[in-house]
Amino acid sequence: MVHFITSNAHKFAEVKKLTDIPLVQMNLPYPEIQADTLQEVAEYGAEYCYERVGEPCFVEDSGLFCDALLGFPGPYSNYVDRTLGCDGILRLVSQNRKAHFTSVIAYHDGSKVNLFMGEVGGTLTETKKGEKGFGFDPIFVPEGETRTFAEMETEEKNLYSHRGKAFTAFISYLNQVR
């Protein structure tokens, strides 16, 4: 059994659709440090949580990186989503609507932290579209698609998404070491 430390039921539901490995969602609040990279944030979170859980566990951190904003909000996406939301990001973005999402999974196996990453490029819409998903999903269209993540079912989103790619790499690793 592996503990996924998250209070976000949407993230947990996305992951459960990708694997048969027994995962347990655990809502264990942990400090989300302010750092310049997602890797630093996720690694700190995994170490903190393992000290409290004492069993293999992982955290996931992701960010939206907007070209027009020189990569902002990046590792600060959670805060920006809570304070400015999708509408705020759309007001800040200029004509350059290119962006990408990155996801980092930090898995503590009891001896060290392993990192798994996924990334997807795309563009930001001019208005919010779709009712599914969460966070910045209503304003992000992945490359090769015409719909936002919020217009897709979870299974479709997992085919394109940064989180789907990171979890696929993580699950492959777990299947090799188990």
Q: Say what the pTM is.
A: 0.92
Q: What is the DSSP string of 111-161?
A: S-EEEEEEEEEEEE-SS---SSS-TTGGGEEETT-SS-GGGS-HHHHHHH-
The CATH number that applies at residue 154 is 3.90.950.10
Spatial distance between the Cα atoms of 121 and 68, rounded to a whole number of angstroms: 14
- Note down the domain range covering 43: 2-177
Q: What is the pLDDT of residues 45-79, one digit of tens each?
A: 999 999 999 999 999 999 999 999 999 999 999 99
- Residue 166 three-state SS: helix
> What are the pLDDT digits (tens) for 9-43?
888 988 888 888 888 999 999 988 989 999 999 99
Confidence (pLDDT) at 54: 95
Q: How many domains does the chain have?
A: 1
CA distances from 121 to 55, 74, 126, 162 (A): 34, 13, 17, 9
67 an active-site residue? no
Note the pLDDT tens digit of each residue in 89-121.
Answer: 999 998 899 999 999 999 999 999 999 999 999
Q: What is the pLDDT of residues 117-152, one digit of tens each?
A: 999 999 999 999 999 989 999 999 999 999 999 999
**20, 36, 61, 137: which one is catalytic?**
61
List Cβ<8 Å contacts ≥24 apart for 71-76: 74/38, 75/34, 75/35, 75/36, 75/37, 75/38, 75/40, 75/41, 76/34
Picking from 119, 121, 114, 120, the residue whose alpha carbon sits closest to that of residue 170 is 114
Compute the distance between CA of residue 8 and CA of residue 119 in angstroms, rounded to an integer: 20
